[in-house]
Amino acid sequence: MDGIVAIHKPAGITSHDVVMRVRSITGERSSGHTGTLDPDATGLLVVCMGAATRLTRFMEEFPKRYEAEIAFGLSTMTGDASGEVVARSEGFSIPLSEAFAAFGKFVGDIQQVPPMVSAIHHRGRRLYELARQGITVERKPRAVVVYSIEPLSVSSWPSHLEHGSRGRIRVECSRGTYIRTLCEDICRSLGVAGHMSALVRTATSGFTLEQAVTLDELERMASFGSLAQAIKPSLEGVRHLPALDLTELEAGWVSHGTAFECNGGRVRSAASAATDIPYIALVRPDGSLAAIARVGRGDPGLLIQPKVVL
């Protein structure tokens, strides 16, 4: 079974647990997600199945959106509500306008130090495995992009932040951004302890939470033979790429990985695509995704070299 399914992940299970459940429900053993959600987090987890698993590296370029809650006054070992309290701030009163102004310091190209509970490898082991043993290692800052930070439900925020205050924000960012770290850094910039007390992912890999189904709903669809309602075609995962509609002859070449030349005017631009994207989606006459190809200069047109053939 080839395609993509958007799952609304509940709290309390890992992203791997979700993938295993999708495999069980659909019968497709070749399945994988496009980006981990922590066990305590909820929201959108995109799972690719069959040939679509080969598209994950292209889908990672889509921006991600989250809704997070910041708890002011307490820092934890893990940066979220599951960790042991390691620092406390009391007796502060920060005007809400000052707090909102601090958000701007973290919009744009920023550097983040990955948390110890992340899945990054360190000498062959995941950081979170070391963290569980009480081991802390030095981590190098990583470059990420935060496109926007906005307060949510402003009326629910207190006029002044004090110990125990909470407020929700919406964040749009690039891959690799750690929202718990962002929440901690915002609090630190205000001179107080703090952590991320809740997290929901609302968009990733080109899909939104509104398009997602729960695991129970997916199982129910399978029992009624209507799984197709939840499975998106592979082409949906790369719709941010420019596209080329193939002729039947070209589709045959592409199926064998054969390069060919074409007139550049045939390539359809994607509304959100940058002009320097080196890859395009090759679409069969029936509308299905045939391959992802690298584009080069031919004589006189474009040289289309299939790289990922589905």
What is the CATH classification number for the domain harbouring 71?
3.30.2350.10
Q: Which of 2, 38, 80, 185 is catalytic?
A: 38
Place of tokens 């006459």: 285
- Per-residue confidence (pLDDT) for residue 296, from 0 to 100: 87
Same domain, 170 and 116: yes
- Per-residue confidence (pLDDT) for residue 213, from 0 to 100: 98
**Segment (H or E) for 20:** helix 15-26
Same domain, 154 and 72: yes
Same domain, 277 and 196: no
Distance separating alpha carbons of residues 169 and 151, to the nearest angstrom: 4
By the 8 A CB rule, do 218 and 231 touch?
no
- Per-residue confidence (pLDDT) for residue 275, from 0 to 100: 45
What is the CATH number for 288? 2.30.130.10
Same domain, 136 and 29: no
- Per-residue confidence (pLDDT) for residue 116, from 0 to 100: 65
Same domain, 210 and 245: no
Supply the range of the domain harboring residue 224: 3-62+205-235
- Per-residue confidence (pLDDT) for residue 93, from 0 to 100: 97
Same domain, 9 and 87: no
Q: How many domains does the chain have?
A: 3
Q: How many CB atoms lie within 10 A of CB 310?
A: 20
- Per-residue confidence (pLDDT) for residue 163, from 0 to 100: 97
Closest CA to 44 of 67, 25, 78: 67
By the 8 A CB rule, do 187 and 194 touch?
yes
User: Torsion-angle region of residue 10: left (phi > 0), alpha (psi -120 to 50) or beta?
Assistant: beta
- Per-residue confidence (pLDDT) for residue 273, from 0 to 100: 43
Same domain, 43 and 143: no
Does 38 participate in catalysis according to the annotation?
Answer: yes
Same domain, 112 and 156: yes
Same domain, 222 and 303: no
What are phi and psi for residue 118, nearest 5 degrees?
-85, 170
Rounded-to-5 percentages of helix, strand, coil across the chain:
25, 35, 35
- Successive 10-residue mean pLDDT values, the chain, 310 residues: 96 96 96 92 97 93 95 94 93 96 96 76 69 72 94 95 97 95 96 97 96 97 95 94 95 96 85 62 96 88 92
Q: How many CB atoms lie within 10 A of CB 265?
A: 8
- DSSP assignment, residue 236? G
Same domain, 156 and 252: no
Same domain, 284 and 251: yes
End-to-end CA distance of the chain: 12
